[in-house]
């Protein structure tokens, strides 16, 4: 049995004071929802403040990115060890980072690999663009991102990670995939690739989320799918009622 998982990706939103206010209101309600792994991913500047508010709760903290090197001359970057001081999770390979900051399968692979030594759990994002989708390349693109993102990593490690299937055309557009379509990609592409790379038990152990314009009104449609274990939520994670309702909807 895979424990349901919901993570909120705040992206580049919220000052420290705004973050405190949001968590103060949200945490009260999220704490009441049991049997779901709940994770908030604020921007780096708010991690310390949010960590303090989440202490003693069952709500986890995640970062939105990190570098793969332990330390050194990498101005503006944050190392795995620095992230692990506050967080248990880290989002890696988000499509916005691939599109705007030059992240490639190779750099994403280095980052995922770097989580092994510091105990962070990566949330590896994969997903095809609209052009790739329309060209019928979803299987090729998503399976390549999974293969390359996990290249060289052993089965024992991979079974504990989280993968988010986020079709790029659905992110921030208000145009979510259908539950059935997302489940088909998760089952026929992501889990199948994991089985080919490792074995069936690993594929069945990995939690796979859907992400892309999830709202309270369509969350249940995704969570009722057999191969989808939760959601990576962007815009709706900034609204208390929406995020709480989405988290509740994971209880299949």
9 in contact with ligand PEP (CB under 6 A)? yes
Among 22, 47, 59, 214, binds ligand PEP (CB under 6 A): 214
Catalytic residue flag (residue 94): yes
Q: In whole angstroms, what is the distance from residue 157 CA to residue 76 CA?
A: 29
Residues numbered 152-181 forming contacts with ligand PEP, rule: CB under 6 A: 166, 171-172
Among 53, 211, 227, 229, binds ligand PEP (CB under 6 A): 211
The Cβ-side half-sphere exposure at 240, using a 13 Å CA radius, reads: 14
> Per CB under 6 A, which region of 67-75, 154-162, 189-197, 226-234 contacts ligand PEP?
226-234
208 in contact with ligand PEP (CB under 6 A)? no
141 in contact with ligand PEP (CB under 6 A)? no
Question: Which value, in Å, is the radius of gyration of the alpha carbons in the chain?
Answer: 17
232 in contact with ligand PEP (CB under 6 A)? yes
Residues 6+ apart with CB under 8 A from 233: 6, 7, 8, 9, 211, 214, 243, 246
Task: For the CB of residue 156, give the shortest distance to ligand PEP in the complex, in Å.
Answer: 27
Phi, psi at 27, each rounded to 5°: -60, -40
Q: Which runs of E-coded beta strand occur in the chain?
A: 5-9, 37-41, 59-63, 89-92, 121-126, 162-165, 207-211, 230-233
The one catalytic residue among 37, 67, 94, 96 = 94
**Which residue lies nearer to ligand PEP by CB, 80 or 212?**
212
Q: Are 220 and 178 in contact (CB under 8 A)?
A: no
41 in contact with ligand PEP (CB under 6 A)? no
Binding site for ligand PEP (CB under 6 A): 9, 166, 171-172, 211-214, 232-236
The catalytic residues are 94, 166
């Amino acid at each position: 049995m895979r424990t349901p998982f919901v993570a909120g990706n705040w992206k580049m939103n919220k000052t420290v004071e705004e973050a405190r206010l949001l968590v103060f209101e949200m945490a009260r309600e999220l704490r009441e929802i049991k049997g779901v792994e709940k994770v908030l991913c604020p921007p780096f500047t708010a991690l310390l403040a949010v960590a303090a508010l989440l202490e003693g709760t069952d709500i986890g903290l995640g970062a939105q990115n990190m570098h793969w090197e332990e330390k050194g001359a990498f101005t503006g970057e944050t190392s795995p060890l620095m992230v692990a001081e506050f967080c248990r999770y880290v989002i890696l390979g988000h499509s916005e980072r691939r599109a705007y900051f030059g992240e490639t399968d190779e750099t994403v692979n280095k980052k995922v690999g770097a989580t092994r030594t510091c105990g962070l759990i990566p949330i590896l994002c994969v997903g095809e663009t609209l052009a790739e989708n329309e060209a019928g390349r979803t299987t090729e693109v998503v399976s390549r991102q999974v293969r390359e993102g996990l290249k060289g990593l052993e089965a024992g490690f991979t079974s504990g990670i989280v993968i988010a299937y986020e079709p790029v055309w659905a992110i921030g557009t208000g145009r979510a995939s259908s539950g059935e379509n997302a489940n088909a990609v998760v089952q026929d592409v992501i889990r199948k690739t994991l089985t080919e790379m490792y074995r069936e038990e690993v594929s069945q152990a990995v939690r796979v989320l859907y992400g892309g314009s999830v709202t309270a009104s369509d969350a249940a449609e995704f969570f009722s799918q057999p191969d989808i274990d939760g959601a990576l939520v962007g815009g709706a994670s900034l609204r208390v009622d929406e995020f709480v309702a989405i988290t509740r909807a994971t209880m299949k």
